[in-house]
Amino acid sequence: MTEPAVRRLVTEIVRSPEDKRDYRGLEFSNGLKAMLISDPTTDKSSAALDVHIGSLSDPENISGLAHFCEHMLFLGTEKYPKENEYSQFLSEHAGSSNAFTSGEHTNYYFDVSHEHLQGALDRFAQFFLCPLFDESCKDREVNAVDSEHEKNLMNDSWRLFQLEKATGNPNHPFSKFGTGNKLTLETRPCKEGIDIRQELLKFHSTYYSANLMGLCVLGRESLDELASMVEKLFGEVENKNVPVPEFPEHPFQEEHLKQLYKVVPIKDIRNLYVTFPIPDLQKYYKSNPGHYLGHLIGHEGPGSLLSELKSKGWVNTLVGGQKEGAKGFMFFIINVDLTEEGLLHVDDIIFHMFQYIQKLRTEGPQEWVFEECKDLSRVAFRFKDKERPRGYTSKVAGLLHYYPLEEVLAAEYLLEDFRPDLIEMVLDKLRPENVRVAVVSKSFEGQTDQTEEWYGTQYKQEAISEESMTKWANADFNGKFKLPMRNEFIPTNFEIYSLEKDSPPVPTLIKDTAMSKVWFKQDDKFFLPKACLNFEFFSPFAYVDPLHCNMAYLYLELLKDSLNEYAYAAELAGLSYDLQNTVYGMYLSVKGYNDKQHILLKKIIEKMATFEIDEKRFDIIKEAYMRSLNNFRAEQPHQHAIYYLRLLMTEVAWTKDELKEALDDVTLPRLRAFIPQLLSRLHIESLLHGNITKESALSMMQMVEDTLIEHAQSKPLLPSQLIRYREVQVPDGGWYVYQQRNEVHNNCGIEIYYQTDMQATNENMLLELFCQIVSEPCFNTLRTKEQLGYIVFSGLRRANGVQGLRFIIQSEKAPHYLESRVEAFLYAMKTTLEEMSDEAFQKHIQALAIRRLDKPKKLSAECAKYWGEIISQQYNFDRDNIEVAHLKTLTKENIINFYRERLTVEAPKRHKVSVHVLSREMDSCPIVGEFPAQNDVNLAPAPSLPQPILIQDMTEFKRSLPLFPLVKPHINFMAAKL
């Protein structure tokens, strides 16, 4: 008799009391562990598989093999040889997929409409049974990996990540280069006579072993149905009994400690990284000593390390806590950003860190602090929002390797044992003799003598002076440091208010005056003790010119900076706020547990109305803002393309350069005078949504208004001052090209925009359905087959009530070539559309309908939908149902006509704007070109393109064209009032 597929079955799984899903844990005879989740209400089903093998297991001579293997598994298996079979199946059934490779994990996941879990799972399972690693796919896909690395090359976080690896023990797997590129995966192996396809097969057959796999599947099916589905597909995965890779030796040994690294960044940033090697604390998850220490060292309240460093004017932000390494080692980090002054006081900053650590040693572990952390985690677990299926299965699949099946859902939340001995053990590692220090600043340019191999990062390594070591070792008591106070923001009232009878399913207008509009919706779906409060403060002064825009930005940055100590406790207790300047004024949101929300809201509004600027903070924050404006030059080419297109298409938009030029004019007296002016005339539109009553919503708004009227003498705006910016209207048959260079990255970026129409039900659905139909073929053609670059995107662009189709690509190929390939793709869609069967067409309609009707999983997501309707002033709160009903009436002819009328080269109503971002090595590039080499049999022919108009001057371009009107609101305001 054959051994049964399942060796152990676990039904008692600790879960959040609010979680209504059913769970079952399985341990297969082949060693694979699985978590099944049955959720009869889910719109999308999902599955994820996590292999406990990552780039730390790459062969010595082939960097990036694990990552390359992850890319290749998507591209064909013995049972489903077609290279886009998996992605096409998902696309046709409202699904999506992705994967990632880290040092110890390769994680694959997908979601799909709930009826098609079986078909998707069958295609997915083959990745782990019989991948093809097709030779021609491999030769093409290596370009995607190379392009992915190219995108990270000038990114400071990737550079610092690799530098940390490079400066430890060079024989430790930690030092490997995980992404891989063309050199490591093609050029070098070729030279050395290594067959990469054989290496991929060998890697997969060695390491893709059932005992290293964690699987999580979520669907509408019952647990028994899910179990039989999973057993059939995954019971066959071979168990090669591969031990989980362990790294008992730390990559940082004696000779890598007490070292200082001076590093030159790409962006103008200034950071200090202090790192200590510590043992792997994973097995102590029930007492989590690293979390306890991170909570105190990383605290931002009064008496904290950050508060003291900030009051000295040395730093603005601090992150402290444990950082994962791999099985066998970890790190403890304290990272801060540095002001100009802080850069001169690095030694003193580290001295303060050791003073704080010394205080923790002297006072010893505090049980009440542990209990408070435990309480916060328990509340977070109890009232956890429901997760989106794809992210949830991916996370759970990875956790299966670390915790018993019974505890997988709860392990990261539930603290159980106070272990002062472990806290002291970790604290004992945080000593000067174990420290590594990295200082990152542009000021080191020209003072370095080493270059990191993969990213070319310039740095200099020095031993930390004996003098500093002695000073730090003798760090004494500092009276400024205090342990945090007890957290007053921890919620205690979790009562759910009963629904008012006949409460409408969408937000209603419960107040409409010259000063404010209040939209209210009591939560009728999630029933958790949470609420989202959103406010838009309209003020004509916020965006008059670049100077005012800068002042509005600095006012709110300084305000948030001064609120930080107070609001940090609220944030720890699950209550957070966001405040930012917008083109129309200011946006404020307060989200989280509703119990003490009004207290935080009142404090923010009072501070807004009575704010006194601190001169020292003003200088520091203005300087940081100047650097962030300058750093925009180092953003990705495709990001630049998106930015330039927005500038071109919006009626009023200040550029980074204009903001930079105006920043010198922002003085302290000017900013002080600006604040009362900004608040003098306001209109406030708000959405209060969640576990609150209509009365409390009205009283909160009253409080906001009263506070502003009392302290800032605010008066209402005139209705005629409530302006909205409009979108530039491209003429019929018009094609404009705008070109700029990116001085940092050696890649080009392009955004091509086909403006189609104003937003309205029919136009929205034609465009969205067209995007649904072209999305997968676009990726398959332009990325998988033609390998134009790692970033290849098609979809819709919406702004100011106007919309269109857009393509975004980042590539080493020239923009005018990318342009011609996009046009070739669009041209080929003609045949695709004409030959599409009715069945295939209906599949697309169905897939889009499912996507659109996918219910929000949590309050903040539902709230964001409604808020989007309010700030766009369209107020179509039942949009999804209205539009999907219309979608179902569309025919293939409708789409073909839409395509012919608006998108083909000769379309009468074609409106096209292209932004070409040239790479730093390119001096110039033609705006349009013919590519005779395109008679390559594999390439679809490109249509002959007309001569576009080159935009020389953005202002002239906008002046010469009309603007669209604004979309009419969906709601009659007289009727909306209750």
What positions carry a catalytic annotation?
70
- Is residue 857 within 8 Å of 47, Cβ to Cβ? no
Cβ-contact 593, 530 below 8 angstroms: yes
- Coil, helix or strand for 200? helix
Which residues sit opposite 754 in a β-bridge?
805, 912
Report the SS3 class of residue 646. helix
Tokens of 656: 């980074």
CA angle 978, 495, 15 (to 5 degrees): 120
Chain-centroid distance of CA 802 in Å reads 26
Q: Do 879 and 548 form a contact (C-beta atoms < 8 A)?
A: no
Buried b (16+ CB within 10 A) or exposed e, 231-252: bebbbebeeeebeebebeebbb
Strands (E), 393-449: 436-440
Please tell me what DSSP assigns to residue 877.
T
Residue 955, C-beta contacts closer than 8 angstroms, at least 6 positions apart? none
Nearest to 422 by CA among 293, 250, 246, 251: 293
Cα–Cα distance list, 447 to 193, 261, 450, 457, 568 (Å): 40, 12, 10, 13, 39
Q: Are 533 and 498 in contact (CB under 8 A)?
A: no
DSSP H or E run through 151:
helix 135-152
Question: Measuring CA to CA, which residue among 639, 635, 931, 638 is closest to residue 786?
Answer: 931
Question: Residue 96 is inside which H or E element, if any?
Answer: strand 96-101
Strand runs (DSSP E) across 523-572, as ranges?
530-538
Number of helical H runs and strand E runs in the chain: 32, 27
How far from the centroid of its chain's Cα atoms is residue 12's Cα?
Answer: 34
Measured CA to CA, the distance from residue 907 to residue 914 in angstroms comes to 17
Helix (H, G, I), strand (E, B) or coil at 112: strand
User: Are the beta carbons of 387 and 857 closer than 8 angstroms?
Assistant: yes
Measured distance CA(618)–CA(554) in Å, rounded? 8
Inter-CA distances, 213 with 6, 206, 452, 552, Å: 14, 13, 34, 52
Q: DSSP letter string over 290-315?
A: HHHHHHHHT--STTSHHHHHHHTTS-
The kind and range of the H/E element at 22 are strand 22-28
Q: Print burial letters for 18-30: b (CB count within 10 Å at least 16), e (below 16).
A: ebebbbbbbbbeb
- Number of neighbouring beta carbons within 10 Å of residue 492: 8
Q: Which residues pair with 758 in a beta bridge?
A: 802
CA distances from 638 to 151, 752, 808 (A): 10, 11, 7
Q: Between the CA of residue 305 and those of 44, 139, 356, 617, what are the distances in Å?
A: 45, 52, 7, 18
- Contact criterion met (CB below 8 Å) for 244 and 327: yes
Q: Which residues of 179-218 are buried (b: 16+ CB within 10 A; e: fewer)?
A: bbbbbbbbeebeeeeeebeebbeebbeebbbbbbbbbbbb
